[in-house]
Amino acid sequence: MSSRIFSPLNIIYILSLVTLFAAVFGVVPREFIFIPAVLILGYMLVAPHQNGLLLFVRFIPFFFALPLTQGFDNFNLWRIAIILLFAKWILSGRNLDEIVASLQWNNLRNLWNSARAEVLGSALFALAFISLFVAQDISTGVKRIIYFANLTLLFVIVRGLVRRENGYVQKLTNNFVVSGMVAVVVGFGQWISTYFLPVWIFHYWWGQIVSLNMYGQQWANIVTNFGNTWFSYSGGGLRLRMFSLFPDSHTFPLYLLMVLPFLFLFIYDAKRTLTKWERRLAWFGFLALHLALILSGTRGIWAGIIFPAVALGTAWFFMPYTRVYGKKVALSIGAFILMFPFAWAILMLPQFQDDNVPSHNVFFTRIGSLIDTSETSNQGRIAIWRSTLKSIAHNPALGIGIGNYPVVLDQNISATRMGASAHNLYLQVASEMGIPAAIIFIWFLWEVFARAWRFAQKPSYNTLTGLFAFAIIFSFIWILGYSLTDAALFDERAFLGFLVFIGVLLGITRQNEIKNPKPQ
Statement: residue 326 has pLDDT above 70? yes
H-helix or E-strand spanning residue 33: none
Query: Phi/psi zone of residue 403: left (φ > 0), alpha (ψ -120 to 50 degrees), beta?
Result: left
H or E element, residue 65:
strand 65-66
In this prediction, residue 227 carries a pLDDT of 80
Beta strands in 184-285 (DSSP E): 231-234, 237-240
Give the CA-trace dihedral at 140, 145, 146, 149, to 10 degrees: 160
Task: Tell me how far apart the alpha carbons of residues 27 and 309 are, in angstroms, rounded to a whole number.
Answer: 45
Dihedral, CA atoms, 166, 150, 251, 53, nearest 10 degrees?
Answer: 30
- Opening angle at CA 478, ends 448 and 418, nearest 5: 95
Tell how far CA 100 is from the center of its chain: 31
Q: Please, is 14 exposed, middle or buried when counting C-beta atoms within 10 Å of its C-beta (0-12, 13-18, 19+)?
A: exposed
CA–CA gap between residue 480 and residue 477 (Å, rounded): 5
Residue 338 CA to residue 290 CA, distance in Å, equals 9
**Could you read off the pLDDT of 172-181 as tens digits, one per residue?**
999 999 999 9
Count of residues for the chain?
520
pLDDT at 1: 44
Phi–psi pair at 341, nearest 5 degrees: -60, -35
Q: For residues 138 and 401, is the Cβ–Cβ distance under 8 A?
A: yes
- Provide DSSP, 238-301: EEEPP-TTSSSTTHHHHHHHHHHHHHHHHHH-TTS---HHHHHHHHHHHHHHHHHHHHTT-HHH
pLDDT tens per residue across span 431-450: 999 999 999 999 999 999 98
Q: Which amino acid makes up residue 472?
A: I
The structure's pTM equals 0.91
139: helix, strand or coil = helix
Q: Packing angle between helix 116-131 and helix 492-507, nearest 10 degrees?
A: 150
What is the distance between the alpha carbons of residues 456 and 263, in angstroms, rounded to a whole number? 18
Residues 181, 407: Cα–Cα separation, whole Å: 39
Q: Which of helix, strand or coil describes residue 177? A: helix
- pLDDT tens digits for range 474-504: 999 999 999 999 999 999 999 999 999 999 9
User: Is residue 30 predicted with pLDDT exceeding 50?
Assistant: yes
- Mean pLDDT for 327-351 is 86
pLDDT digit string (tens) for 351-388? 765 555 555 555 555 565 555 555 556 777 889 999 99
Q: Which of 69, 55, 84, 65 shows the shortest CA–CA distance to 20?
A: 65
One-letter identity of residue 30: R
φ/ψ of residue 25, rounded to 5: -90, 10
Residue 72 has pLDDT above 80, yes or no: yes
Look at residues 147, 185, 160 and name the one whose alpha carbon lies nearest to residue 53: 160
134: which residues sit within 8 A by CB, 6+ positions away? 395, 398, 399, 400, 401
Report yes or no: 457 and 43 within 8 Å, Cβ to Cβ.
Answer: no
Average pLDDT of the chain to the nearest whole number: 86
Residues 6+ apart with CB under 8 A from 287: 335, 338, 339
CA distances from 264 to 143, 186, 289, 467 (A): 37, 21, 12, 8
Residue 172 pLDDT: 94
